[in-house]
Amino acid sequence: MKIAIIGSGNVGSALGKGWLNAGHEVVFGVRDPQSPKTQKVLALIPEAKLNTVADASINAVVIVITTPPEAVLDLIPQLGNVSNKVIIDTTNSIRTKPAPYATAYDAIKEISKAQDLVKCFNSTGFENMLNPNYHGEGIDMFAAGNSKKAKQVAGQLAKDIGFATCYDFGGDDKVELLEKFALSWINMAIMQRHGRNLAFKLVRR
Ligand SMILES: NC(=O)c1ccc[n+]([C@@H]2O[C@H](COP(=O)([O-])OP(=O)(O)OC[C@H]3O[C@@H](n4cnc5c(N)ncnc54)[C@H](OP(=O)(O)O)[C@@H]3O)[C@@H](O)[C@H]2O)c1
């Protein structure tokens, strides 16, 4: 699959490394090839392909947003025509948000008119995206949004990098709840000081 990852920081580089290893075609859309975060992706993935946001997006089937949430206001016009593309929004509007929108998801949906948009890869730390394996088992991922197609694509991409299951977390009305779920991980890992090597897994009986 042709994937454009917008942003090359913690999340972008972790997902990019996994998808490249899984055989996907990945291009990073960056604003400054010399920035420390661009250099970080090159340290992790020496063969990483870098381009402008517009050129990375133009041939992509899937566009993955891994920037601060407020950056989407800048980015949306650079993504071009997204009517046939799946957009995966990994952002969490916890410290900042793309005002007047509550989330980047809402901003993308309204401004770009994207049909196949999904919130995913936001609910755990980037270390867990680099390595979702705990004691021989994959942890779980969660996806929210109204597009079945986007959820199916995100779910496959989650499995491709080692997540066990990507659960359907609900529709557009559950996007903010999925960001709160991410905040729950941040609370446990950082505020309650349990450390970032922890993850959520759904168990059943
Ligand atoms: N860190 C985590 O564990 C984690 C987990 C789940 C979700 N998230 C969410 O994922 C997003 C990214 O987090 P991160 O930790 O990967 O951040 P990060 O390491 O700071 O990387 C952010 C990336 O966004 C780029 N960027 C910023 N503004 C931009 C703009 N206007 N146009 C194009 N690119 C822009 C930065 O590029 P420059 O180098 O040019 O600044 C950088 O490559 C955030 O929304 C966060 O809430 C983070």
pLDDT in tens, 192-203: 999 999 999 999
121 CA to middle of ligand 1, Å?
A: 13
2-6 and 25-29 strand pairing? parallel
Q: How far apart are CA 139 and CA 94, in angstroms?
A: 23
Q: How far apart are CA 25 and CA 185, in angstroms?
A: 30
- Predicted confidence (pLDDT) per residue in 58-94, tens digit: 999 999 999 999 999 999 999 999 999 999 999 999 9
Mean pLDDT of the chain: 96
Find the Cα–Cα–Cα–Cα dihedral 96, 162, 20, 120, rounded to 10°: -30
Question: The whole model's pTM is what?
Answer: 0.98
Q: How far apart are CA 12 and CA 8, in angstroms?
A: 5
Q: Which residues pair with 4 in a beta bridge?
A: 27, 63
Contact between 101 and 110 under an 8 Å Cβ cutoff? The reply is yes
Tell me what pLDDT residue 165 has. Answer: 97
Tell me what pLDDT residue 53 has. Answer: 97
pLDDT band at 39 (very low <50, low <70, confident <90, very high): confident
Return the CATH class of domain 2-191.
Answer: alpha beta
Indicate whether residue 128 lines ligand 1 (CB < 6 A). Answer: no
Pinpoint the alpha helices (H) of 22-103: 36-44, 53-58, 72-75
Indicate whether residue 196 lines ligand 1 (CB < 6 A). Answer: no
Indicate whether residue 37 lines ligand 1 (CB < 6 A). Answer: yes
Q: What is the mean pLDDT of residues 182-197?
A: 98
pLDDT band at 40 (very low <50, low <70, confident <90, very high): confident
- Predicted confidence (pLDDT) per residue in 145-157, tens digit: 999 999 999 999 9
Answer whether residue 123 shows pLDDT above 90.
Answer: yes
pLDDT band at 33 (very low <50, low <70, confident <90, very high): confident
Token reading at 88: 């995966």
Indicate whether residue 16 lines ligand 1 (CB < 6 A). Answer: no
Where do the domains of the chain lie?
2-191
Atom of ligand 1 nearest to the CA of 182: 6
